Structure 1
Amino acid sequence: MSKNLLLIFTRNPELGKVKTRLAKTVGDEAALNIYKFLLNHTKEVTQKIACDKAVYYSVKVRENDIWDASIYQKYPQFGEDLGVRMHNAFQNGFDNNYEKILIVGSDLFDLEEKHINEAFEKLNSNDVVIGPAEDGGYYLLGMKVMHPAVFQNKEWGTSTVRQDTLNDLQNVSVHLLETLNDVDVFDDIKDNPVFEQFLK
């Protein structure tokens, strides 16, 4: 068992249930296909990283999906909002004696192995690591001990999340990774030729 744990939050890939803001422009089917593509990208990026890994499913755990159970622990998300669900996932990791825990989403085409490796490394000399997203949120959060305030009193999915989180962490050392763009709306993909195959 590694002392490092990577949490991956996913949504069950179901028509009409994923990337709903993107779907308003491209339609439910294209949005679902784009999300499946992003899920697979997240798997490709994370599967070889030298740490333990856990996938947290939004609705129910899928046994025979892209996430190999010999590589990824599998859990359902639990809690009434995103903050509570993330808190519970981190708490589960710390209860299982992990020393450094990161969480990432599954809708980040710009995510690379180097971002996750850097985050674990920066936790050697910092209390918290955050990967800023261009929309004002974050794509990665890493901690060595629980900081409960970061999961409370946030307007999840809005442009204030990162700043509100940093306000909660004024008394600890925080390292910021490079800013990346997650995929939420059409503007996030319109200039990227990789996504053209889904828009025909």
Structure 2
Amino acid sequence: MSRPSEPRVAVFARYPTPGRAKTRLIPALGAAGSAALHRQLVERTLRAVKASGLPFELRTTGADAVAFQDWLGTLSVVDQGDGDLGERLARAGPPYPTLFIGSDAPDLSPGHLSAAAAELDRAPAVIGRAEDGGYWLLGLARAVPGVFDGVDWGTDAVFAQTLARLRTAGIEPVLLSELADLDRPQDLARWPDLAR
């Protein structure tokens, strides 16, 4: 069975409400500053996704679709729903192929997304490790039962656990280049233009 050559990008984003967005940065930036930085990251991510030319949808939490469209313009917005990140990712998968990304990697470029899409056209899965032990992108050509189950989300074990689940399913993913996330106060020095 053939599959479309272009995967859909599922972009996960939280509404930038002070005190509810980028909370680990609040000690350094304050609630309003952390929310403002998160706003920049989401906008930056969407610019990269749009420039890649890949179809995409925004998987949202923290506000309704109207609030996101007022902020970001007319685009496909789908509520993430309840549950842990694994449950929300699993719901975002169909239809496949899908590239799952967040909005925490400031260096994400259209080229990264195009490269991931090209690899996913030839492989069942692709994954890009984040420096903090998570991943900045996971691409699946088809559903992989259990890939999102029991992962210790938000820890440095996420990449290793996901890789193990893929391998248990008989899948050796293509490894993409590593990128850094902006999540913690110590990460701010890398992107001083974002922390103003």
Q: Same fold (TM over 0.5)?
A: yes
- Counterpart AA for 2:160: Q
Q: 2:164 aligns with which of 143, 146, 167?
A: 167
Structure 1: tracts of 5 or more residues without a match: none
Structure 2 CA distance for aligned equivalents of residues 78 and 163 of structure 1: 26
Equivalent in the alignment of 2:80: 77
The answer (yes or no) to whether the contact 1:59–1:77 under 8 Å persists in 2 is no
Could you tell me how far 1:187 is from its partner in structure 2?
1.1
The percent of aligned pairs where both chains have the same amino acid is 30
Deviations for 1:54-90, whole angstroms, at most 9, x for unmatched residues?
0011133332334332xx3111002310000000011
Q: 1:113 aligns with which of 83, 93, 110?
A: 110
Q: 1:33 aligns with which of 32, 36, 39?
A: 36
Q: How does 1:1-200 map to 2 (within 5 A)?
A: 3-63=6-66, 64-69=69-74, 72-90=75-93, 93-94=94-95, 99-170=96-167, 171-197=170-196
Report how many residues are paired: 189
Could you tell me how far 1:196 is from its partner in structure 2?
4.3
- Counterpart AA for 1:55: L
The answer (yes or no) to whether the contact 2:65–2:78 under 8 Å persists in 1 is no
- Counterpart AA for 2:182: V
CA gap of 1:158–1:196, structure 2 versus 1, over 3 A, is closer
- Counterpart AA for 2:76: Q
Structure 2 CA distance for aligned equivalents of residues 61 and 54 of structure 1: 14
Structure 2 CA distance for aligned equivalents of residues 101 and 113 of structure 1: 16
Structure 2: tracts of 5 or more residues without a match: none
Deviations for 1:85-109, whole angstroms, at most 9, x for unmatched residues?
000011xx32xxxx42101101211
Structure 1 CA distance for aligned equivalents of residues 155 and 195 of structure 2: 27
Q: Name the SS for the 1:129 alignment partner.
A: strand
- Counterpart AA for 1:67: L
- What TM-score does the superposition give when structure 2 sets the normalisation length? 0.90
Structure 2 CA distance for aligned equivalents of residues 8 and 102 of structure 1: 8
Q: Name the SS for the 1:10 alignment partner.
A: strand
The answer (yes or no) to whether the contact 1:40–1:66 under 8 Å persists in 2 is no
The answer (yes or no) to whether the contact 1:87–1:148 under 8 Å persists in 2 is no
